[in-house]
């Protein structure tokens, strides 16, 4: 049954009227009218403190957003996901990443089969393998210990592992080095292995489908590099393992499926970092920390499933994102972690959010008449402050910000953590309250310069604080964003779990590869620009 058209819902229209009435009201007024706003519009759950008081909402807006969620059947959709219904309708798949972190005692049935038992079996194999590598029981072809791990994958088979490795580096085994190769650009592979000794290097080839062009090209390059360095085809057995859902293709590539760690079609690529795709994470931080990360994910899953909407972090974040996107017209979101270890978090979130919600038709295929997924981007603070924050403060666009920070540094250095967090807190304050022209003039600025030194303020932000970046906290933080993305998708009535939009470019590239690699220029039947680019590339490449 198709959902009623979003913009015709009375709840949507009520929100529209409310936005017209309050949309331009300044955060200065909101805070002046309610001295407790900063505490009232804040939540602490699962070890995460969310301050959303600097979002441009009032109690009525929040209530109306929750009513919209109810009208959209959010509660039922959450349950449908957790129960393993095939909510990824365009691919006819269940969406069960929550099973990846369910406790061993839980049962989640898919077509009568308990998937938690499968997950636990793979986790145990991963842990046993990790232990063998760490203890030296698993050795390279010439008997030396593994000291370097190179994970090869792309998209969901890369961004999560890289992000998690960077995020949890403080917990990692420093006697080993970890590298990630994703781009089909040969430079990525060449630079990753330049300093490595093949005899001590383990490659993990990560690909859900095991048909992805970039990953297979890099995996072939890795195999050639390894075999050449070690002088023996048989070396592949000790230097390559695979993570995939496709045992046939893994075997075809030449990796023994005994050295393959599986996952399932009900795990979307961008929701897979806590599956076997996270093998590099486990090798880096050990099985115990990996389990702690899964427990953090699970704690947020439980919260999302059971907490009432008023106290539900992912629901609230998702609804605020809808408000900013659809009622305040904000086309992008900046994610600003004030934690160097989270430097790859914005890049990871880009796939999670934009591959999930960058859709233009509803579940039943009708074109939407409202904006869907915003553009996510960001950099760690304070670097961003000396780069793009100018636009955040004084540009003409509205860019809601998510600030993320921690009470304790993993590398305390004199007062530097206070300095870091002072900046985080000050940025939210500056964005919200700005500086009026009167304040600027009162500070003695001359009239001509005053407009340049004025900050309009009223720029919304949320701040997420936790005590310390631990594996558990990281899991909860990621699950928070995962579920917030789902909430937005439910409101927009789109399939947050398919990714048809990546197909066309892939298909066209196949034709183009043939045209670029043909010995003589083949007849070209593209548009004039594409034809000219193909010719120009061939000429640039082939001219001595």
Q: Which residues bind ligand F6P (CB under 6 A)?
A: 154-157, 207-209, 212, 215, 269-270, 355, 499, 502
Specify whether the CB–CB gap between 497 and 95 falls below 8 A. yes
Q: Burial of 151 by CB count in 10 Å (0-12 exposed, 13-18 middle, 19+ buried)?
A: buried
Specify whether the CB–CB gap between 387 and 379 falls below 8 A. yes
Shortest Å, Cβ 212 to ligand F6P? 3
Is the CB of 209 or the CB of 531 nearer to ligand F6P? 209
- Which residues are bridge partners to 464 per DSSP? 50, 404
Closest CA to 18 of 86, 88, 67: 67
| Residue entry with tokens 């699950």 | 479
Shortest Å, Cβ 355 to ligand F6P? 6
CA distance 255 to 237: 7
Shortest Å, Cβ 328 to ligand F6P? 30
Shortest Å, Cβ 248 to ligand F6P? 14
Is the CB of 215 or the CB of 340 nearer to ligand F6P? 215
Taking the chain, what is the end-to-end CA distance rounded to the nearest angstrom?
63
What is the number of the residue whose Cβ is closest to ligand F6P? Answer: 269
Shortest Å, Cβ 500 to ligand F6P? 10
Shortest Å, Cβ 97 to ligand F6P? 13
Is the CB of 84 or the CB of 155 nearer to ligand F6P? 155
CA distance 81 to 441: 56
Q: In angstroms, how far is CA 72 from the centroid of its own chain?
A: 25
Shortest Å, Cβ 236 to ligand F6P? 20
- Report, as residue numbers or ranges, the catalytic residues: 355, 386, 506
Strands in 42-45's sheet, in edge-to-edge order, are: 42-45, 48-51, 461-466, 401-406, 332-337, 375-377
Is the CB of 48 or the CB of 149 nearer to ligand F6P? 149
Is the CB of 52 or the CB of 497 nearer to ligand F6P? 497
Q: In angstroms, how far is CA 260 from the centroid of its own chain?
A: 25
> Beta strand 375-377 with 201-206: parallel, antiparallel or unpaired?
unpaired
Helices (H), 43-112: 59-71, 74-82
Query: Helix, strand or coil for residue 57?
Result: coil
Shortest Å, Cβ 122 to ligand F6P? 16
Q: Residue count of the chain, please give it.
A: 544
Query: Helix, strand or coil for residue 485?
Result: helix
Classify the phi-psi angles of 55: left when phi > 0, otherwise alpha if psi is within -120 to 50, otherwise beta: beta
Is the CB of 45 or the CB of 214 nearer to ligand F6P? 214
Is the CB of 46 or the CB of 354 nearer to ligand F6P? 354
| Residue entry with tokens 């007849």 | 523
Specify whether the CB–CB gap between 372 and 494 falls below 8 A. yes
Q: How many CB atoms lie within 10 A of CB 395?
A: 12
Is the CB of 350 or the CB of 512 nearer to ligand F6P? 350
């Amino acid at each position: 049954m198709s959902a009623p058209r979003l913009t015709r819902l009375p709840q949507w229209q009520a929100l529209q009227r409310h936005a017209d009435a309050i949309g331009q009201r300044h955060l200065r007024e909101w805070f002046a009218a309610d001295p407790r706003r900063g505490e009232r519009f804040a939540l602490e759950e699962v070890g995460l403190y969310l301050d959303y008081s600097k979002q441009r909402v009032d109690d009525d807006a929040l209530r109306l957003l929750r009513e919209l969620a109810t009208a959209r059947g959010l509660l039922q959709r959450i349950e449908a996901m957790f129960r393993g219904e095939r909510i990824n309708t365009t691919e006819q798949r269940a969406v069960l990443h929550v099973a990846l972190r369910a406790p061993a005692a839980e049962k989640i049935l898919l077509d009568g089969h308990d998937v938690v038992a499968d997950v636990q079996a793979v986790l145990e194999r991963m842990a046993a393998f990790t232990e063998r590598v760490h203890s030296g029981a698993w050795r390279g072809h010439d008997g030396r210990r593994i000291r370097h791990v190179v994970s090869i994958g792309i998209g969901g088979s890369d961004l999560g592992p890289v992000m998690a490795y960077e995020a949890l580096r403080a917990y990692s085994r420093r006697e080993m080095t970890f590298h990630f190769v994703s781009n089909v650009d040969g430079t990525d592979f060449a630079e990753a292995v330049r300093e490595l000794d093949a005899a001590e290097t383990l490659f993990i080839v990560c690909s859900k489908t095991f048909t992805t062009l970039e990953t297979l090209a890099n995996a072939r390059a890795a195999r050639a590099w390894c075999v050449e360095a070690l002088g023996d085809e048989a070396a592949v057995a000790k230097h390559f393992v695979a993570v995939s859902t496709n045992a046939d293709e893994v075997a075809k590539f030449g990796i023994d499926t005994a050295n393959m760690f599986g996952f399932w079609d009900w795990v979307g690529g961008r929701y897979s970092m806590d599956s076997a795709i996270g093998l590099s994470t486990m090798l880096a931080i050990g099985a115990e920390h990996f389990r702690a990360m899964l427990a953090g994910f699970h704690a947020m899953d439980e919260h999302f499933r059971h907490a009432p909407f008023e106290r539900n972090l992912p629901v609230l974040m998702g609804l605020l994102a809808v408000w900013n996107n659809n009622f305040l017209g904000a086309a992008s979101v900046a994610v600003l972690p004030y934690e160097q270890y989270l430097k790859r978090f914005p890049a990871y979130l880009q796939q999670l959010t934009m591959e999930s919600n960058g859709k233009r038709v509803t579940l039943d295929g009708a074109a939407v008449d409202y904006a869907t997924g915003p553009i996510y981007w960001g950099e760690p603070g304070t670097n961003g402050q000396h780069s793009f924050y100018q636009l955040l403060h004084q540009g003409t666009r509205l860019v809601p910000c998510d600030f993320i920070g921690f009470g304790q540094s993993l590398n305390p250095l004199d007062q530097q953590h206070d300095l870091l967090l002072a900046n985080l807190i000050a940025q939210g304050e500056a964005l919200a309250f700005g500086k009026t022209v009167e304040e600027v003039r009162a500070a003695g600025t001359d009239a001509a310069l005053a407009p340049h030194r004025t900050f309009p303020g009223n720029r919304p932000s949320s701040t997420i604080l936790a005590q310390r970046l631990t594996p558990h906290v990281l899991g909860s933080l990621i699950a928070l964003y995962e579920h917030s993305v789902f909430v937005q998708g439910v409101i927009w009535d789109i399939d947050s779990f398919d990714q048809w939009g990546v197909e066309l470019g892939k298909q066209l590239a196949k034709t183009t590869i043939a045209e670029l690699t043909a010995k003589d220029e083949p007849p070209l039947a593209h548009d004039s620009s594409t034809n000219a680019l193909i010719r120009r590339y061939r000429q640039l490449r082939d001219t001595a």
